[in-house]
A and B are shown apart, each in its own frame.
Chain A
Amino acid sequence: MLTIRDFLMPDLGEGLTEGEINRWLVAEGDVVVVDQPIAEITTEKAVVEVPTPFAGRVAALHGAEGQTITVGRPLISIEVAGAPDTSPSGNVLVGYGTSESAPRSRRSSPPAGAPASHTIVAMPPASPLVRRRAAELGIDLSTIAGSGPGGMVTQADLERAGGRADALVASATPPTIAGGKRRALTGVDRIAAERLTRSHHETPVAAAWLSADATRLLAVRSDLEGSIVGKVTPFALILFLCVRALERFPRLNAHFDTQSNEIVVFDSIHLGVAVQTDRGLVVAVIRDAQGKSATEISGDLSRLAGAARDGSIDMADLRGSTFTVSNFGAFGVDGGTAIINPPEAAILGVGQIATRPWVVDGAVVPRSIVDLSLVFDHRVADGGVAGGFIRHVADLIEAPDEALAQ
């Protein structure tokens, strides 16, 4: 059996790339033995006689005298006896590898085709540590003027953060009033004050409000009390109904990302409930409210409110709300323009449930009426969405049976 073996042009001088055929020493059809010189090759360095590594009959000469052959290209083909050699044919290029034709890519990471998932923002200079801390605290570095070298935002700057370094703050200082008692804001109050100020500065808000007839809701609630469901407050029921309304209007359970100009709708509904304590107002969080029954929400609410008041509440329960409800009714107030709890997009104020004159079937009758006031980030929702949401909450309050039956 005969096969053709190609003898590839070798590198004859430590890194040469080509050689010129000075003279052939054999012709096609000649029989050659191993190591018989078959050509004189001229390189940059010398004239070299090249011997064939194969014995057999010369099948082809791959170039004329005077022609230049690139290292690695076939020089001469010899018809040899024996089966085709499946092993890499001839490491004629020491250091250049064997018979693999195309060099293989060895990139471990794919070339960047899709746009990069990370955001490149024009940020003020800040050390990696400061960036990390800012991200943890949810602080937008672009709102802080840096006092470090080259305008870098320092850790001290972060600590002072809260929008104070915001360039939009009016340069005119308000008149000072002498005297008075000073009480420094610390801890929870201080953080709350910073967040409120920032929210107020950053968010273009709008409001929508209405009154709803809660008479039926109260009746349903009495019924529930007698049943195995147990004691629930009207407020807890309203929270449950809010959650249902958010499921229909998820845009209000969201956040506006100023850096990327995106509305980020949250996956879960973690309901923030403002709880009044001795030390001030705290927002306790009922997590994953979308999966909870009215009873469970009520239970969470009492537990959290109790814990908040006696100071035993977990930090985890004070974080991560996606939508907040404020119980104005607890103060005997009907409504108001609450301040959105950042990074949320809306806050619902629920007023007291009071007996008021209401029109039913053309007659004026006393009914239990509750006012609802929604303050929302107008970038996230327009009047239609906001109005639709609050209307739906009201509808659920006025006819809660079906929703509460679940």
Chain B
Amino acid sequence: MELTMAGALNAALRDSMREDDTVVVYGEDVGRLGGVFRITDGLQAEMGTDRCFDTPVAESGIAGTAIGMALYGLRPVVEMQFDGFSYPALNQVISHVAKYRNRTRGRVGLPMVIRIPYGGGIGAVEHHSESPEAYYSHTAGLTVVSPGTPADAYALLRASIAFDDPVIFLEPKRRYWLKEDLDLPVSAPPIGEAVVRRAGATATVIAYGPMVTTAMEAATRAADESGWDLEVVDVRTLSPVDMDTLVASATKTGRALVVHEAARFVGYGAEIAAELSERAFGYLAAPVLRVTGFDVPYPSAKIERHFLPDADRILDAVARLLEY
């Protein structure tokens, strides 16, 4: 059956709610409307307003009440409507969601998921195209997941909902309409595992979320245009990250780059580059490069394509890797 990523997420929520009646879905416009991206479409009608409901516009409230719900034994799956609007909840997330288990010496775990559509490339106005993954990944106690394909969207969301620790689930909104042939349910890969999407030998391209598609496009073009055989690794769980898989790939090819939409400075790629330098040092033929957005606030729609990394920018970076 062909499913979009949005459809896969919807199915994951539905299947999780059917199998576990402690799963509760809420957020702004997720109930009656079914979500501004229709990710929660039909859930309220099927499950009732106790299981899927709308909230007032109160992001901190959404996250804070989710904490209380998880404390009481439910599994809340809440939505921040857009990346740029997740920030009012940062205090609850950083001060409490991330710290509750540690603060209570493991007696209280918060099995909750905060879903956030993120990333650009949809021609939106300000605040609707952010990539905040570095803030969340930097916060000890959080698990940060970002699927790159419809199959992973289904599987990783189900896994996140079933997970005993809080998950920040970053959905690449520009890929919501990506289609894949899926036979549901897709078995869930464990949280914390990266995957080699395309095996290769020339160089390693490390990507996650919206850039997985871009990286695969670059690999196809690389093979056709230059005879390069790129290996593409999909990180999937940003934190805690599966460094073993990334190190194995970089060791094999000797050349690696990380690609993300988020700005370069102190971005997620910096962590991967540093860690790869440390662990694969003797095997690197070239420094680990980062292909990223620029260190500017996300620009307006008409020029956003110049900000976003694309296959061209990735291939230029591969060429630089090969100069060494």
| Residues of chain A at the chain B interface (Cβ within 8 Å) | 127-130, 132, 148-149, 152, 154-155
Contacts and interface: CB of A to CB of B under 8 A. Distances in A.
Interface in B309-324: 323-324
Contact of A155 (B281, B283, B285): B285
Given A148-B324, A155-B285, 20 more contacts: A127-B284, A127-B285, A127-B286, A127-B324, A128-B281, A128-B282, A128-B283, A128-B284, A129-B254, A129-B282, A129-B283, A129-B284, A130-B285, A132-B282, A132-B283, A148-B323, A149-B323, A149-B324, A152-B324, A154-B324
A128, A148, A152, A155 — most chain B CB neighbours (10 Å): A128
6 contacts: A127-B286, A127-B324, A128-B281, A128-B283, A128-B284, A148-B324
Contacts, number: 25
Q: Is the interface of B mostly helix, strand, loop or mixed?
A: loop
A128 B287 CA distance: 10
Contacts of B287: 127
A127, A130, A149, A152 — most chain B CB neighbours (10 Å): A127
Contacts of B324: 127, 148-149, 152, 154
The 9 closest A-B pairs by CB, nearest first: A129-B285, A127-B285, A128-B282, A128-B281, A148-B324, A129-B254, A149-B323, A132-B282, A128-B284
Contacts of B285: 127, 129-130, 155
Interface string B271-284: 00000000001111
Interface in B64-108: none
A129 B284 CA distance: 5
B42 to A, nearest CB: 54
Contacts of A128: 281-284
Nearest to A146: B324
Q: Is the interface of A mostly helix, strand, loop or mixed?
A: helix
A67 B251 CA distance: 64
Nearest to B320: A149
Interface of B: 254, 281-287, 323-324
Nearest to A147: B323
Nearest to B251: A129
A138 to B, nearest CB: 17
Nearest to A127: B285
B284 to A, nearest CB: 5
A178 B254 CA distance: 43
B124 to A, nearest CB: 39
A129 B286 CA distance: 8
A148 B284 CA distance: 14
B254, B282, B287, B324 — most chain A CB neighbours (10 Å): B324
A180 B282 CA distance: 46
A130 B284 CA distance: 8
Contacts of B323: 148-149, 154
Contacts of A149: 323-324
A129 to B, nearest CB: 4
A397 B204 CA distance: 63
A132 B285 CA distance: 10
A379 B277 CA distance: 40
A155 B253 CA distance: 13
Nearest to A129: B285
A148 B283 CA distance: 17
Contacts of A130: 285
A249 to B, nearest CB: 39
A400 B60 CA distance: 97
Nearest to A133: B285
A191 B323 CA distance: 26
A157 to B, nearest CB: 11
Nearest to B254: A129
A132 B282 CA distance: 7
Contacts of B282: 128-129, 132
B312 to A, nearest CB: 20
A124 B320 CA distance: 20
A155 B321 CA distance: 13
B265 to A, nearest CB: 22
A180 B220 CA distance: 47
A130 B283 CA distance: 9
Contacts of B283: 128-129, 132
Contacts of A154: 323-324
A372 B283 CA distance: 47
A171 B68 CA distance: 80
